[in-house]
Chain A
Amino acid sequence: EAQVTQNPRYLITVTGKKLTVTCSQNMNHEYMSWYRQDPGLGLRQIYYSMNVEVTDKGDVPEGYKVSRKEKRNFPLILESPSPNQTSLYFCASSSGRGGYTFGSGTRLTVV
């Protein structure tokens, strides 16, 4: 089944403790992206990647890092999480010739 897999689905952590949210797709897509979704603000892009080793900032990149060492994986790294990063996070991928496939989401709470 074609899908984007995120882990974990739920995560509660403390301020300052580094964490990584993994994202993997099995569709051989070049393009991958991370979004956060907040009430009243909708979906906002954090980072995106056009291909292996090619990444760029989206609209809200502060406090986040990404890497794209393999085509299928695009982890999101929070080096020092803060409470304002409490949000619902989505990874998405696309071949560039159609729509985007989204993962099921990661609900992150930073206390």
Chain B
Amino acid sequence: QKEVEQDPGPLSVPEGAIVSLNCTYSNSAFQYFMWYRQYSRKGPELLMYTYSSGNKEDGRFTAQVDKSSKYISLFIRDSQPSDSATYLCAMRGSNDYKLSFGAGTTVTVRA
């Protein structure tokens, strides 16, 4: 079993829809949770960074962490064609700088 599970999709939604992405994990030591966006032929770009449980909002993006369920989510509101990319979840422990990544979910927003 992988340490971080993420449905690879692909996910296709119409412009303006809400995109919902999620990851589950098994390591209870994870404390820092991240979401990255990766466009084709580019490096991953940090979107959201959260510590422990709770919600964080940044513009159209909302990240949620539920440590009791070992489940994290990313919501994209009012999705745009420019949001079409692969979204990767990543996480690490407090004293461990090694990131564990999900497999990535490919999202297409149709105009």
Contacts and interface: CB of A to CB of B under 8 A. Distances in A.
A43 B43 contact: no
Interface in A29-58: 31, 33, 40-43, 45, 48, 50, 58
B46 A42 contact: no
Contacts of B46: 99-101
A98 B32 CA distance: 9
Contact of B42 (A43, A98, A101, A105): A105
Nearest to B103: A42
The DSSP consensus for interface residues of chain B is loop
Given A43-B88, A48-B97, A102 B104 contact: no
B101 A102 contact: no
Interface string B37-49: 0000111111001
Interface of B: 34, 36, 41-46, 49, 88, 90, 97-99, 101-104
Interface of A: 4, 31, 33, 40-43, 45, 48, 50, 58, 90, 92, 94, 96, 98-105
6 contacts: A42-B103, A50-B97, A96-B97, A102-B36, A103-B43, A104-B42
